[in-house]
């Protein structure tokens, strides 16, 4: 009788935990008729469990409404099953495409990718990195406001694996994935020069962003190689890299005297180029007859614009996948050698430069 009462109490306690969403590994093991160790293997190393036993355990989990206590597992293991990506600007589809590539790799490894938006602000970037460290993420991808920031080195020094995305740090102390932006700038302006343009504007900013500086360096190299006057490559600076910044630049450009106005513009990214395209249409400038436009990134909206946009293409998804693989490799290797991967961009020509 005592044995029956004990079993009833056990069943009642298990039922109580199920009702409150607290079914335990032991409850699942009892239901499936296996050991708690077998249940643990199903959760963490299912390849070690015979298929018949694994199915019984999985069915018991469904029957009991078992939910894995991930926070408790993290406390025991010391790390979460999460990667972090601190992107520069979540409003820019380039970064969300990179994140999508990284997320594919994370999903393959049973991990989650936590996305953060620094909004191109150093203080916010630092706060986000601190929170990710506190959450014990397995590693961090970051497109930094400054790839040589001492804060990044401090984070890595405390043991959090870190990969720089879309920049190459001068120190070489981190893994990084980037694109040759100098080459991209040369491709863009070289294309415009080949089409006969002799007054060109470079539109972008702020100068604190390495991408903006490198694309301008490439533009100037192409201009010099063509033997053109330096002053005829005009720089129109913007405070940011959004559509509104492109529209503002378009107003300034349209207000210039016709005989000195650039006949083409190379924009630091596609969002600026799309804003410039909008404003050109509003100002009565025909694209490309009065103003040819080249963007950068080749986001999906570039091809879908009212006048399809010529753009320098970056392999966004592959950048994200490569960065995530490098991050996981660094997290797993005791003697890790940092690597800087640089992709080569290519130019996609559409109607915004060539009718």
Closest CA to 314 of 189, 171, 165: 165
Taking residue 338's Cβ as centre, other Cβ atoms within 10 Å add up to 16
pLDDT of residue 3: 55
142 versus 9: the higher-pLDDT residue is 142
What pLDDT score does 69 carry?
57
Q: What is the pLDDT of residue 199?
A: 98
Q: What is the pLDDT of residue 24?
A: 82
Would the pLDDT of 2 be above 70? no
- Give the residue, 267 or 148, on which the prediction is more confident: 267
What's the mean per-residue pLDDT of the chain?
89
pLDDT digits (tens, 9 = 90+) for 253-287: 999 999 999 999 999 999 999 999 999 999 999 99
Residue 343 has pLDDT above 70, yes or no: yes
36-44 helix and 51-64 helix, angle to the nearest 10 degrees: 90
Tokens of 281: 């249409």
Give the pLDDT mean for 124-134. 93
Gap between the Cα atoms of 238 and 240, Å rounded: 5
Give the residue-averaged pLDDT of 143-151: 89
| Residue (of 188, 80, 74, 63) closest to 133 by Cα position | 80
Q: Coil, strand or helix: which one is 335?
A: coil
Whole-angstrom distance, CA of residue 298 vs CA of residue 275: 15
Q: How confident is the model at residue 280, as a pLDDT?
A: 97
In the prediction, which pLDDT does 172 show?
75
pLDDT given for residue 20 in this prediction: 43
Instruction: Read off φ and ψ for residue 23, nearest 5 degrees.
Output: -60, 135
Across residues 11-27, what is the average pLDDT? 58
Say what the alpha-carbon torsion angle 323, 328, 334, 335 is, to the nearest 10 degrees.
-20
Which pLDDT score, from 0 to 100, does residue 277 have? Answer: 98
Compute φ and ψ for 151, nearest 5 degrees.
-65, -35
Angle at 148 between CA 145 and CA 150, to 5 degrees: 100
| Banded model confidence at residue 44, pLDDT cuts 50, 70, 90 | confident
Q: Is 298 left (phi over 0), alpha (psi -120 to 50) or beta?
A: left
Is residue 344 predicted with pLDDT exceeding 80? yes
Token pair recorded at residue 153: 């080195």
What's the pLDDT tens digit per position in 246-257? 999 999 999 999
For 50-65, the pLDDT digits (tens) are 999 999 999 988 888 7
Please, what is the Cα angle at 193 between 188 and 196, to 5 degrees? 135
Over residues 75-87, the pLDDT tens digits come to 444 567 899 999 9
Using an 8 Å Cβ cutoff, are 307 and 273 in contact?
Answer: no
The set of residues, in sequence order, having a beta carbon less than 8 Å from that of 82 and lying 6+ positions away, is 111, 112, 113, 114, 135, 137, 138
pLDDT band (50, 70, 90) for residue 23: confident
Task: Identify the pLDDT of residue 5.
Answer: 55
Give residues with Cβ within 8 angstroms of 93, minimum separation 6: 297, 299, 300, 301
* Residue 19 reports pLDDT greater than 50: no
Asked if 235 and 219 touch (Cβ cutoff 8 Å), the reply is no
Residue 40 and residue 173: Cα distance in Å, rounded? 38
pLDDT at 171: 77
Predicted confidence at residue 16, as pLDDT, reads 45
Q: 159 or 17, which is more confident?
A: 159
Residue 191 clears pLDDT 80, i.e. is over it = yes
**pLDDT, position 354:** 86
pLDDT above 90 (res 14): no
Q: Where residue 47 falls among pLDDT bands split at 50, 70, 90?
A: confident
Residue-wise pLDDT for 316-340, tens only, equals 999 999 999 999 999 888 778 899 9
Contact (CB, 8 A) for 348 and 298: yes
């Amino acid at each position: 009788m005592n044995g029956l009462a004990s079993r009833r109490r056990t069943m009642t306690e298990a039922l109580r935990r199920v009702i409150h969403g607290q079914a335990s590994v032991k409850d699942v093991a009892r239901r499936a008729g296996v050991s708690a160790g077998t249940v643990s293997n199903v959760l963490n190393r299912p390849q070690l469990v015979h298929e018949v036993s694994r199915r019984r355990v999985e069915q018991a989990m469904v029957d009991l409404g078992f939910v894995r206590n991930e926070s408790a597992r993290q406390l025991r293991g010391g790390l979460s099953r999460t990667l972090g990506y601190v992107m520069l600007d979540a409003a820019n589809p380039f970064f969300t495409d990179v994140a999508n590539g990284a997320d594919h790799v994370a999903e393959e490894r049973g991990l989650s990718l936590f996305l953060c938006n620094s909004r191109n602000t150093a203080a916010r970037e630092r706060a986000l990195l601190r929170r990710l460290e506190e959450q014990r993420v397995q590693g961090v991808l970051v497109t930094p406001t400054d790839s040589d920031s001492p804060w990044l080195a401090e984070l890595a020094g405390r043991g959090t694996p870190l990969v720089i995305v879309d920049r190459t740090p001068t120190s070489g102390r981190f893994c990084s994935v980037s694109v040759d932006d100098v080459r991209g700038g040369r491709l863009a302006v070289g294309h415009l020069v080949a089409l006969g343009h002799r007054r060109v504007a470079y539109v972008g900013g702020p100068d604190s962003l390495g991408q903006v500086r490198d694309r301008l360096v490439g533009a100037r190299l192409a201009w010099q190689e063509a033997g053109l006057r330096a002053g005829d490559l005009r720089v129109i600076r913007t405070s940011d890299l959004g559509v509104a910044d492109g529209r503002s630049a378009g107003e300034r450009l349209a207000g210039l005297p016709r005989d000195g106005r650039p006949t083409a513009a190379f924009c630091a990214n596609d969002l600026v180029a799309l804003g410039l395209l909008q404003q050109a249409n509003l100002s009565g400038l025909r694209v490309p007859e009065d103003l040819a436009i080249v963007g950068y990134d080749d986001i999906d909206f570039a091809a879908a614009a009212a006048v399809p946009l010529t753009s320098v293409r970056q392999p966004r998804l592959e950048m994200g996948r490569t960065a995530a693989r490098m991050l996981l490799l660094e997290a797993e290797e005791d003697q890790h050698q940092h690597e800087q991967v640089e992709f080569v961009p290519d130019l996609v020509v559409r109607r915004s430069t060539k009718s």
